[in-house]
């Protein structure tokens, strides 16, 4: 299995980031990862138990390719972490605002 590709922070584009977070499932995954800075395996970060593995895998791929998360393989699990510090440095306050606004919905 090849390692996961993660874009450098200078290649992360705001429109792509906002597009990725426009999906309610991906936004919920980011919420869950935000609450656990140590990272979570895919199944623990998933907001719903009924999502097929292929769908969940696609959501994580989009988040990873957009640059929002970093995923590493640990044994049989894939542990994902929000790239919070990097995102906050490039787009100050953006994640905090988006996560706060989404809680009101």
Write a three-state SS string for 26-48: HHHHHHHHHCCCCCEEHHHHCCC
User: What's residue 3's pLDDT?
Assistant: 74
User: What's residue 68's pLDDT?
Assistant: 96
Please indicate, yes or no, whether the overall pTM of this predicted structure exceeds 0.85: yes
pLDDT at 62 over 80: yes
What whole-number distance in Å separates Cα of residue 50 and Cα of residue 85?
Answer: 31
What domains are defined for the chain? Answer: 11-99 (1.10.10.10)
Residues 56-70 have a mean pLDDT of 95
Residues 62-72 have a mean pLDDT of 95
pLDDT at 100 over 90: no
User: What's residue 105's pLDDT?
Assistant: 59
């Amino acid at each position: 299995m090849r390692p996961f590709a993660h874009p450098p922070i200078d290649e992360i584009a705001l429109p792509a980031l906002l597009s990725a977070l426009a999906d309610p499932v991906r936004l919920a995954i980011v919420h869950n990862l935000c609450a656990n800075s140590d990272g979570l395996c895919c199944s623990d970060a998933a907001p719903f138990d009924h999502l097929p593995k292929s769908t969940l895998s696609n959501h994580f791929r989009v988040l990873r390719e957009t640059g929002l998360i970093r995923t590493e393989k640990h044994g049989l699990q894939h542990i994902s972490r929000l790239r919070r510090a990097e995102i906050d440095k490039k787009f100050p306050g953006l994640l905090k605002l988006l996560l706060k606004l989404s809680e009101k919905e």
